[in-house]
Amino acid sequence: MPKVAYVGTFDPVHNGHADIATRAAAAFDEVIVGVYKTPPTKALMFDTDERVELFAESVRDVPNIRVVPFTGLAPDFAREMGAKFILRGLRAGFDFELEFEMALMWKHIAPDIDVICILSSLEFQFVYSSRIKEVVALGSDVSALVPAHVNRALLAKLVK
């Protein structure tokens, strides 16, 4: 079976991300989670090392998932890792259009790399990292949406 690269900023990783990676691990020899170091359009709460550690801890019981930082284009990262596929999770709503456009651009850049999408589980359809940070900053509980260690990290950053 081939390898797949699952790329994103994961700021922070949430249960939906971990679910997608874990489900993909059942279908691929290896899932390489690429935590994007410096996204050009996002302000990050957690630095790269923190995001890598938070994701790695979230999937520590799945032996064929590896979490590493990366920069540059996702297709280049996939090639560098020996992956023939890039994995994306799809939630309800506007995700499809955004992911479709991105997949077409990646196909233009790297015709040898295909994009594989896994539909988010029903309980995670509404879970977004940016919304999680917003809700925690406003004093609400997200402990059912993120792993316990991520919840502690969020609270340490946001609750003063």
- Provide the token pair at 70: 């990366």
pTM of the model: 0.93
- Provide the token pair at 148: 């316990």
pLDDT attached to residue 159: 66
Residues 55-74: tens digit of each pLDDT: 999 999 999 999 999 999 99
Residues 72-103: tens digit of each pLDDT: 999 999 999 999 999 999 887 777 778 888 88
pLDDT attached to residue 160: 57
Q: What percent of the chain has pLDDT over 70?
A: 97
- Residue 153 and residue 145 in contact, taking contact as beta carbons nearer than 8 Å: no
Q: Is the pLDDT of residue 34 over 90?
A: yes
pLDDT attached to residue 155: 92
- Residue 90: CA count within 13 A, CB half-sphere: 16
Query: What ranges do the domains of the chain cover?
Result: 3-158
- The most confident of the ranges 38-42, 106-110, 156-160 is 106-110
Q: Is the pLDDT of residue 41 over 90?
A: no
Q: Is the pLDDT of residue 6 over 80?
A: yes
Considering only CA atoms, which of 89, 122, 92, 91 is closest in space to residue 103? 89
CATH fold for the domain made of 3-158: Rossmann fold (3.40.50)
